Structure 1
């Protein structure tokens, strides 16, 4: 629970009460001193802050190359990429901050940096020389970068944020969102410049910077509109004042930037792949702890939450937290694809489908699904379904390793196996073969696997979602692409078209893979057991 300000000394207030608006009433629990003597006292007697500047982020040169690639697509335009603001959870409590993925990707920052920050790519020739910053991007711009960045950068990056206030300010002790006594020591402009290699300025100077030279014959503005409504509204006001595009025309301008930032992430650089491998390794540790908690889960009325909690604890210990809400679906719950209530029992003899991923401090996330026998052994019907899904995963992986494979072909390969197994089991409509079902007028097998087999993975668990179809689903696999392979079969307990012994069984197997420089596809999740024998040995080895 948030600390209360009621512990601070209060002044006697003899004045008559003044009517309050609803907005003002949120502060009624506070008794904040306002007298000058108190302000002088609370701002005094503190030791010096650390003087040493942080070292440059290891991500900085990679982020530089990304910014140069983006800027080259929009020469002469001012590009505005907000981090986003804090989001209210309830009343005056906020959710933990997580910056927008486009911002994190282009600024090279992670974790909770920095509510209300805005990255602006200034077209060269318009960037202000004073702007409040200290030191233009020295080794962060124009070096060629680690990923073939443009030799002649088109933009200069400027990072606007709210630096820490002095201890003599009211913000220091009274601002619950930004005050040092409330949220801890926040960075200075000099510190952020040292860490990122980006010139920085106070957020209060953003509006003037956006308006500089803006106009039909000057600078065009583009903003990642979904990231921060307040910043988007500010950009719209500047555009209106400058006579730039508004309404639907402005949306088209902004959509092109959002599309570009998404497509920029379709291929990962080697630093990003390393971060994803770290996320996968942490996820393996989380699965280990989850399996160790199975005995306690089977004795708890909400056993699924016992499993969820075990994984979540490891995610916070080893990374920033969860990449998405964990699915810990026991028994028939596994047949609800997005089961995140996790309020059911975990029973001996059942399977539990766990779809979970650790988001590391750089904000890259793993996305792994394993279907685990609670007793450490698959029953014959469970093994039958599991092996069918595993065979589909093998087929998809083999297709991905075929030269010229397109992203959509990975799904098609998995579906060929799924349809064939369902035909063998007599589950397709009378007279319908697997080949018939795979045709556009069939698709009957999709009753038992309604989702796709693959999606891109990175800063978002479903990464690059705003990329054009021809750049993603229809594109050939190419080095740097990271994606999932996750076939499944879901036989609901009330599905009368399913053989009785298979009802209530849900299985998904999900791996994270990367296309290496030579075009071959490699499992980042290779160390996480997946065959029947491996899974049984894994569970039995951890819980006996």
Structure 2
């Protein structure tokens, strides 16, 4: 408005205009008293906190074996694996905490334990470390605050009044069979004697981009302890850090028996969640955003039976099923169309399933839907047929693609020889099947993602590997390269597969796969 001068507000005036620093204003909503009488009363008359030590977790021995394996790969170097900090969702509220997968793998900690924790493997003389390895491991975390401290009732991120009880150093040490230390000791532990081995220092390798505070601490230590700080090449350190992340990812390519048990549990819970969705289909059909009913039904089951979702659910009905990562889930679920449900329960251990089924909403496939579905199923079965120890991982994809290329030619959608389609110069079929047929599965839904191609794509299948087999065909509603009858049909069938000494086990086989079995299963659940 003319004649009115807008006030100029700077960070300094914002903090001082009311005399209250910005960082303290979060307490305005809680209206916490600050009187000495209140503080004295809050710190008194509490029953003693339990000092009982828990039994050793079953995973502890497995985690120790994983630490020993990574210790063998990096003798003489300090290895630093942060869990990561809490992440802000909005203003002063956080997302539920989930530790970095490498940290979870080497400690055995799952669910929402210990934000800001850091696992440090300190080098020792070869063979004198944990289990005869080259390192001694210590878990640094923030221990339970005493009830005589203000943090007990005032800290909404770590205070017992706000988030519940947390373990003591001794309790977590007993649970994991792993030495623990107060997080306040971390800086000294990380920065002592940092330097190149050639000058008697200890080289650090860090899992980067997990905790910015730890990244900064390590980088500062590298610079401050250098003979010529201005000549420090942090990019070379980054490259060495990348080798650690690579090794940690490759360590998860083969699952130990405890991990396989966790995968079985996650898949079993996922199968039950799919049944819940089928039972909820009438509600989904009646709702203007039926995909949200599907999503919410599975999410409720995942939260009740596990830690929650392993990834954002794809509840894609109709043409939405042709969008590979459709997670908006705000569409209608209509009779006569298909529902592609791609979902997985994450266990409390953080191991996740990843399963997809494509369901006829009305309970019965139409002829063209059945034709497309059967082609995808045949491709999946071809992939299963070749999967066994000693086969290259990429051969699973090759087997599935051959079937799909043959069907696309048979249907007249491609007027090219199958051999040409499958050649590197061809690949026309990938218009309708643009993703890979398989990926490793475990702590991450796309597990082992930093592994080298020669151990992943070109790696040989080994007993204990767990991965998906998930071919699909996706004909978008506006795809003029296919006849109208195909448009708007998206089909994916995804199973979770364990490599055994004899071949493979389909961990998700309890979910029907053939069109006849899917229809019968849906009819049974509808009764």
TM-score by length of 2: 0.93
CA positional deviation for 1:519: 4.9
RMSD: 1.6
Q: Which residue in 1 is equivalent to 2:495?
A: 511
Please name the residue that 1:400 is paired with: 387
**SS class of match (1:227):** coil
1:88-127 aligned within 5 A: 88-124=88-124
Does residue 178 of the first structure (1) align with residue 154 of the second (2)? no
Q: Matches of 1:30 and 1:384 in 2, distance apart?
A: 61
Paired with 1:499 and 1:535, the residues of 2 have a C-alpha distance of 26
CA contact (8 A) 2:476 2:488 kept: yes
| Structure 2 counterpart SS, 1:355 | strand
Shift of 1:218: 2.1
Report the CA distance between 1:32 and its aligned residue: 2.5
SS in 2 for 1:477: coil
From 222, 231, 251, the counterpart of 1:264: 251
Q: Which residue of the partner structure matches residue 42 of structure 1?
A: 42
The whole-number CA distance in structure 2 between the counterparts of 1:465 and 1:519 is 26
Q: Give the paired residue count.
A: 504
2:291·2:332 contact (CA, 8 Å) conserved in 1?
yes
Counterpart position of 2:139: 159
SS in 1 for 2:209: helix
List alignment gaps of at least 5 residues for structure 2: 1-15
1:425 to 411, 423, 447: 411
> What CA distance in whole angstroms lies between the structure 1 residues aligned with 2:245 and 2:101?
11
Which deviations, in whole Å up to 9, do the C-alpha atoms of 1:75-125 show, x marking residues without a partner? 010100000010000000000000000000000111011100000011125
In 1, the alpha carbon distance for the partners of 2:502 and 2:76 equals: 36
2:49 is the alignment partner of 1:63: no
Are the counterparts in 1 of residues 277 and 297 from structure 2 also a CA contact under 8 Å?
Answer: yes
Normalised TM-score (structure 1): 0.90
CA shift, 1:21, in A, is 4.6
Asked if structure 2 preserves the Cα contact closer than 8 Å seen for 1:353 and 1:506, the reply is: yes
Match of 2:433 in 1: 449
Report deviation, 1:36: 2.5
1:271-313 CA-to-partner distances (Å, cap 9, x unmatched) read: 1011000000000010010110001111000111101111111
- Partner secondary structure for residue 469 of structure 1: coil
C-alpha deviation, 1:214, in angstroms: 2.1
User: Which whole-Å CA distance do the structure 1 matches of 2:364 and 2:187 have between them?
Assistant: 63
User: Is residue 239–residue 246 contact of structure 1 (8 Å, CA) maintained in 2?
Assistant: no
Q: How does 1:449-488 map to 2 (within 5 A)?
A: 449-488=433-472
The CA distance in 1 between the partners of 2:140 and 2:303, in whole Å, is 29
Q: Determine the C-alpha separation between the residues in 2 that align with 1:30 and 1:233.
A: 33
Rounded Cα–Cα distance in structure 1 between residues aligned with 2:419 and 2:481: 20
Task: Tell me the CA shift for residue 440 of structure 1.
Answer: 0.9
Work out which of the residue numbers 197, 205, 220 in structure 2 matches 1:222: 205
CA 1:513–1:461 in 2, change beyond 3 Å: closer, same or farther?
A: same
Alpha carbons of structure 1 residues 535 and 299: separation in structure 2 relative to 1, 3 Å? same
Deviation at residue 246 of structure 1 after TM alignment: 4.3
Quote the Cα distance in structure 2 between the aligned partners of 1:455 and 1:56: 33
* Contact 2:475/2:486 (8 A) holds in 1: yes
Q: Distance in 2 between the 1:457 and 1:37 partners?
A: 55
1:381 corresponding residue in structure 2: 368
Q: Is the 8 A contact 1:478 1:519 kept in 2?
A: no
1:264-343 alignment to 2 at 5 Å? 264-343=251-330
Q: How far apart, CA to CA, are the structure 2 residues paired with 1:301 and 1:468?
A: 46
Shift of 1:212: 2.3
Alignment counterpart, residue 493 of structure 1, candidates 457, 477, 486 = 477
Q: CA deviation at 1:19?
A: 3.2
Q: Is the 8 A contact 1:236 1:246 kept in 2?
A: no
Kindly state the Cα deviation for residue 35 of structure 1 after the two structures are TM-superposed: 2.7
SS of corresponding position for 1:421 = helix
Alpha-carbon contact 1:295-1:543 (below 8 Å) kept: no
Query: 3-state DSSP class of the match of 2:512?
Result: coil
